[in-house]
Structure 1
Amino acid sequence: MKKWFCLLLAVPLLSSAAEIRIGFQKGSGLLSMMKTQGVTLPGHQLKWIEFPAGPQMLEALNAGSIDFGSTGAPPPIFAQAGGVDLLYVGAEPAPVNSEAIIVPKDSKIRAVADLKGKRVAFQKGSGSHFLLASALQKAGLKIGDITPIFLSPSDARAAFVSGGIDAWVVWDPYLASAQKAYQARLLADYTGLPLANGFYLASSKFAKESPQLVAALLEQVRQGGKWASEHPKEVSALLTQQTGVPADIVATWMGRSRFGATPVTPEIAANQQRVADLFYQQKLIPRQVNIASRVWTWQPK
């Protein structure tokens, strides 16, 4: 299988050999594929640290355990509100239908408005949190109108199967797997709702001390996204091998994925600010946050 890092030999050799700690979510996003393919930066050792979701990753960023990582839109907002010193250094295309609110196939719940008073599971502070808040707002409801059950994807899956929850908000490949294995019915995805970009994040310390390294990592990701978009079959084969997820599930997942890395433009920052404002309005974060003040300027080659 062709490895995209073979295309990336013109990366600057920076100072002495140093360890760069990168957070990733298994089977999710370009960073996971970069790890699997053995992407390197000349003169530097990449240490890959796996996390179950974005919130846990940003706890590690705050603790100084990682330097760089990627998450959906909400985790850095919750982290900012909690005082984490992070920077938005790059952005991913916003997902549309790779994350959704689902219910059991025989559920009587037919619309988002029917979730009022129901038990809805999701990873607190994740992209699913924003999707749920946005869908509820459109239906004239708030998070306070449901019974939120904060669970990791694996725990939520067990609760979904056992009937311990009424609905589940989750991303691929968990979403695609539940749709196939349990004929889970889709209640809502981002169709018709405000979109939210994914982000590449770095600690302020790392970006200040090693701006060339941040740019080099982002260039790896940018070209990796281009390669992934042009080689969907290779990406599916890679992820099937990496995750152990059946090939047909991976194919569904990849058909709904969007890859890439771009600078955080004023428009993207403004969109992220709308996400933050919604969370503040619904009292999901304790204070307002300013997104533009935490944007690091990246100029791709």
Structure 2
Amino acid sequence: MPTKAINRLLNIALAKLNEVIACLDKLKQPKIHTLSLLFAVGLGLSIAVSACSPNTTDNGTAKTAQTPQTATATTSSATTVRIGYQKAATVLNALKARGELEKAFASAGTSVTWAEFPAGPPMLEALNAGSIDFGYTGEAPPIFAQAAGIPLQYVAYDPWSTKAEAILVHKDSPIKTVADLKGKKVAFAKGSNTNYLIVKALEKAGLKYTDIKPASLPPADARAAFEGKNVDAWAIWDPYLAAAEQATGARQLTDATGLAGNLGYYLAAKSFVESNPNALKVVLDNVKKVSDWAKNNPTEVAKFLSPELGIDAGVLEIAEKRRTYDVLPITDEIIAKQQAVADAFYQIQLIPKQINVKEIVWQGNK
């Protein structure tokens, strides 16, 4: 085996060993348990195990998503850049499949590893444990993470779309307006972006959060409860929103327009931001290029995601056409929107203390 290849394997092995050691050390600290408790209360997820055992791989089996060529790193102090992703998060999933980030870092001698997670909360647990450096989630997980003291930073945002989440009712439901939800059983993922949508929709309709009967359920369980008419309404995001509409003929009471921003956030470990700003910029540059591809190719994105998610490509294309892609710097306006989410969660006691979102916003992407 060539010396260069041997050295690369040794670097990867050393990085893996350091990850395990860091993870074990972190699990001794109360911070992990604090966040796990918050997510258990706010999201109903058992995530401590996910932090130390993500599905991490080198990108040796790239898929065929037709993403564009990306920029090359000229300098990087990191020997390994570790990315956390979810299958439904199109941009990072496609970036992994194409292998362009590996090419971008090749000249710097930096390897890239990928860890798959089922949701944002366990991804941020892994970030806290030192297992990943970079990831993407919706609005809620970083709020819980900051409340628990996890050292992360917002490094960019994705506008996603206010049309990409909604409150659904059955096609034959007598419920016609949000005000009609009073006393009804409403399913949503507690502490998620749709939880915030529920809060704001009720507020606009003159109702309180306590006026409904919340059913805290993840998407798959909520879908089953909704189809079985065990709940009266369901707040959900795409592509599960589009899939439910197509399969059940469900009606939208309201989407998030005028109520919630429904934004996505690119997040990084504070230590990675401080130690490897050049590597972070290379990652964001490549993410941006794939995001631009996704924005301009909804049909191709749908075809790529269909086998990944087990959802028909035609349904996914509906979802893709009503969402927006971009990778943008965090502005004061965006900070204010995220702060509003945090304040709402504090008011309904989903997080134990008030937080200041601006304190953990990276200033290098201006």
TM-score, normalised via structure 1 length:
0.91
Residue of structure 2 equivalent to 1:222: 288
On the 8 A contact 2:178/2:202 being kept in 1, the answer is: yes
Q: How far, CA to CA, are the matches of 1:31 and 1:56 in structure 2? A: 17
Deviations 1:122-165 (A, max 9, x none): 12222111111111111122322222222211111111122222
Query: 2:112 is paired with a residue of what secondary structure?
Result: strand
Partner of 1:88: 154
The residue type equivalent to 1:3 in the other structure is Q
Q: 2:101 is paired with a residue of what secondary structure?
A: coil
Q: Give the count of matched residue pairs.
A: 298
Distance 1:191 1:299, change over 3 A: closer
1:10 — aligned with what? 72
Q: Please report how far the alpha carbon of residue 179 of structure 1 lies from its aligned counterpart in structure 2 after TM superposition.
A: 0.3
SS in 1 for 2:162: coil
Asked whether the equivalents of residues 225 and 259 of structure 1 are also in contact (C-alpha less than 8 Å), the reply is yes
Q: CA, structure 1 residues 39+149, in 2 after alignment: closer, same or farther (shift >3 Å)?
A: farther
Q: Partner residue of 1:262?
A: 328
Match of 1:244 in 2: 310
Find the residue that maps to 1:22 and give its secondary structure. Answer: strand
Paired amino acid for 2:121? P
Specify the alignment match of 1:30 in structure 2.
Answer: 91
Q: 1:124 to 1:220 in 2, by over 3 A?
A: same
Counterpart of 1:21 in structure 2 is: 82
What is the root-mean-square deviation in Å for CA atoms of aligned residues?
2.0
Quick one: distance in 1 between partners of 2:200 and 2:129?
Answer: 30
Q: What is the alpha-carbon distance in structure 2 between the residues aligned to residue 196 and residue 173 of structure 1?
A: 14
- SS of equivalent residue, structure 2 residue 167: strand
What is the one-letter code of the residue matched to 2:357? I
Note if contact 1:21-1:67 (Cα within 8 Å) is conserved in structure 2.
yes
- The question of whether the paired residues in 1 share the 8 Å contact of 2:68 and 2:293 is answered with no
Any idea what the Cα deviations from partners look like across 1:54-100, whole Å, max 9, x if unmatched? Answer: 22322322233322111111221122122222110111114211111
Does 1:183 pair with 2:246?
A: no
**Aligned residue in 1 for 2:58:** none
TM-superposed CA distance for 1:2, in Å, is 6.8
Cα distance change of structure 1 residues 143 and 36 upon mapping to structure 2, 3 Å threshold:
farther
Where relative contact order (Cα < 8 A, 6+ residues apart) is larger, the structure is 1
- Residues of 1 paired with 2:297 and 2:263: CA distance? 22
* 2:186 is aligned with 1:120: yes
Identity of aligned residues (%): 47
Q: Distance in 2 between matches of 1:269 and 1:109?
A: 35
Matches within 5 A, 1:1-301: 3-6=66-69, 8-15=70-77, 17-18=79-80, 20-41=81-102, 42=105, 43-299=109-365
SS in 1 for 2:288: helix
Shift of 1:249: 0.3
Going from structure 1 to structure 2, the CA distance change for 1:75 and 1:15 (only over 3 Å counts) comes to: closer
Which amino acid is the alignment partner of residue 99 of structure 2? G
CA distance in 1, matches of 2:140, 2:363: 20
Letter in 1 for 2:234: W
Other structure's SS at 1:225 match: helix
Q: Which amino acid aligns with 1:86?
A: L
Residue 16 to residue 64, structure 1, CA distance change in 2 (3 Å): closer
Higher helix share: 2
SS in 2 for 1:106: coil
- 8 Å contact 2:85–2:92 — kept in the other structure? yes
8 Å contact kept, 1:55–1:125? no
- Structure 2 residues without counterparts, runs of 5 or longer: 1-63
- Measure the CA separation in 1 of the matches of 2:238 and 2:180: 24
In 2, are the aligned partners of 1:52 and 1:152 still within 8 Å (CA)?
A: no
Task: Say whether the 8 Å CA contact 1:196–1:272 is kept in structure 2.
Answer: no
User: Closer, same or farther in 2 for the Cα pair 1:267/1:137, shift >3 Å?
Assistant: same
Segment of structure 1 superposing worse, 53-62 or 217-226: 53-62
Structure 1: give runs of 5+ residues left out of the alignment: none
Query: CA 1:208–1:147 in structure 2 vs 1: closer, same or farther (change >3 Å)?
Result: same
CA contact (8 A) 1:5 1:220 kept: no
Query: Tell me, what secondary structure is at the counterpart of 1:149?
Result: strand
TM-score (norm 2): 0.76
* Greater C-alpha Rg: 2
